[in-house]
Amino acid sequence: MTEVNIESDEIDLQPFEDDTTNFSDNENIPVEHVNFELEQRNKLHGLYRKITIFNDTHCYQSVKNKHQRKYKYRIDIAYLDPRPFRNRVKEWKWLYASIAFLLLDVALYFAGWLDTSSVNFLGLFLGVLVVSIMSLLAFFYYSRDRVFFRSQYGKIKLIELINNNPDNASFRSFVNKFVMQIKKSKTAKNLNQNKLLARELQELRRLKDETVIPHDSYEKAKRLIFKHEAFNTAD
């Protein structure tokens, strides 16, 4: 795997000026090298995401979304489940609505129900056409095809990716390398299960304190970790 050496200040771990999180990288982990990166853009949602894997052990994500808050955060990838999960949702009701309005427009035009020279008819025709187009846009806007990685034992979604963005080959290459890097990071730590549970809980608590993950999600993850049979012997 090719590594790109960079200066330690090339990854900005400080919050955006208008960020609403309390993010601060108190651990001050120096960036020794970058392993690989992925940039994703979605113009329809006004979304920009950049994910950087660095020092063989950490993932840094920067997200800008014009409809939501901007945020940045860093996680230790050793506490991630290496299995990627896919969540695909198609809002078919908007597509069906778009087709229905389009068929209505076609019927109005060809059936001769209204005077085609009438201003009222023209307004009705254009109005229905606009609604059809807006419904089609809503179909693409609300539909989702996401791949995400979650914490190993707490099952909290921590990394979310747009499937096949920027393209299929680049996306698959990144995911494959990311999975391998997670496994290597786990092996390098050489921790038994009870210590992994305790360390993951500590990592999730930090992310909760930085408002990266919601309090209720953290509490659910904590209960899952507490219920694990190996946690009672965790240091």
DSSP per-residue codes, 2-35:
--B---TTSS--SPPTT--S----TT------EE
Distance between CA 227 and CA 205 in Å, rounded?
17
Per residue in 178-210, pLDDT (tens digit) is 999 999 999 999 888 889 999 999 999 999 998
Neighbours of 31 (CB within 10 A): 18
| pLDDT given for residue 40 in this prediction | 95
**Contact partners, residue 25, CB within 8 Å, separation at least 6:** 13, 14, 74
Q: Residue 118's pLDDT is what?
A: 67
Domain ranges of the chain: 34-89+143-233, 92-141
> Pick the residue with more confidence: 66 or 154?
154
**Integer Cα distance of 89 and 92 in angstroms:** 9
Give the domain 34-89+143-233 fold: PH-domain like (2.30.29)
36: helix, strand or coil: strand
Kindly tell me the burial class for residue 70, based on how many C-beta atoms sit within 10 Å of its own C-beta (0-12, 13-18, 19 or more).
Answer: middle
Return d(Cα 194, Cα 122) in angstroms, integer. 71
Q: Does the N-terminal peptide bond of residue 166 adopt cis geometry, omega within 30 degrees of 0?
A: yes
pLDDT digit string (tens) for 97-136?
Answer: 999 988 888 887 776 655 556 667 777 778 888 998 999 8
Alpha-carbon span 119 to 74, nearest angstrom: 59
91 confidence band (pLDDT: 50, 70, 90): confident
The pLDDT value given to residue 114: 55
62: β partners? 50, 72
